[in-house]
Chain A
Amino acid sequence: MVLASLVMLALLGFYINSQATWNDASSQTITQRELTMVIERITEKAHMASQGSWDAAGNQLDLYPPGSPNAFYTLRWDQTDSLLYESGTNIAGGEHPILGSRVMTFQVACVDSVLVLSNLTLRTAAGKFVSAASTMTFMNRP
């Protein structure tokens, strides 16, 4: 009876531990995919743009088409809910979050013909941070 109880406790511990690991891994995978998706999205839009501007106070990135003062794509980090919102022409639904994960850091700089994403850090549902950095060129490509 004692031995059976010990075995059951060990199995229960293993089950709970494996579920925790499984959830942790799943949430990290989702966040990593979202991070890659955002980088690909910014790259795609930056290649279409001729220039960009970064508003550090408003945490907002605007991308402009050639010869126009109006941005065709905007990415804004709302620090109240830590979500990243996109909006722009030809994007249905108005401004909407493009990620489910919370954004901890979103740092961008626009230098000449280059957009420098110096730090994009997301937080997984389990509390782990996933970050990446990249650079995109404004290619003025429709």
Chain B
Amino acid sequence: MTAEARHRRAGGSRIPILLLVPAGLALGFLAVPLAGLLARTPWGSLGAELATPRVLEALRLSLVCSLGAVGVSLLLGVPLAFLLARVEFPGRNLVRALTTLSMVLPPVVGGVALLLAFGRRGLVGRWLDQWFGITLPFTTAGAILAEAFVAMPFLVISTEAGLRAMDRRYEDAAATLGAGRWTILRRVTLPLIAPSLGAGIALCWARALGEFGATITFAGNLPGVTQTMPLAVYLALETDLQAAIALSLVLLVVSLAVLVALRGRWFPTA
């Protein structure tokens, strides 16, 4: 490799100032708020802040709800991804658009929509109430539903992308060797799309963990039942800033952990 080529490969030593200034500002803009959070963190009393029953309750509930939302998304979202990736049907693009709608919808709007659909007087909820005596708002199940509504698209999109990218000849080969559908799915397809599925699960879980708007609108706010971490942060902010910062830090660490776990998968290392 010539010196010149190496120079070019390394990106050049002279970075245009026109690029550097706005890029630096962008980086600062994204990083400074996090620095602000860290600067105000009560490190000395952090353990005590996090060990209060209220915080532990919110943590426990956040884990239950976000894992529940991932479960619902796996159960329903993965089959949907298969449908979108493998089956040609009229209106497929429309279905795909509908699938992703809740990603771009403001979560509070999602919460109102959920109330109008699954609330006690909602389109579906009224029958759930009359026939089975099930009401979802103000319950942990409702919080799981709200989180799944917002987070499922991340899993569907990621899984569908994995299915489209995989080489289907492996499945064909397995079929010619006499493997049944179930065996092919279990032994060939799922292992091949495992990276996409894993990334989808991680993103879906992180999104569910951070869910606020749909949850507080649809499921309300009750410690131990529907008050997840983001809701606890929001309410703590109004009375106890230290507790709010401590809770925020936990969510920040979790988010960072997800990003680190996904590095190279979602963001190819240059």
Tell whether A pairs with B. no
Chain B positions near chain A (C-beta within 8 angstroms): none
Chain A positions near chain B (C-beta within 8 angstroms): none
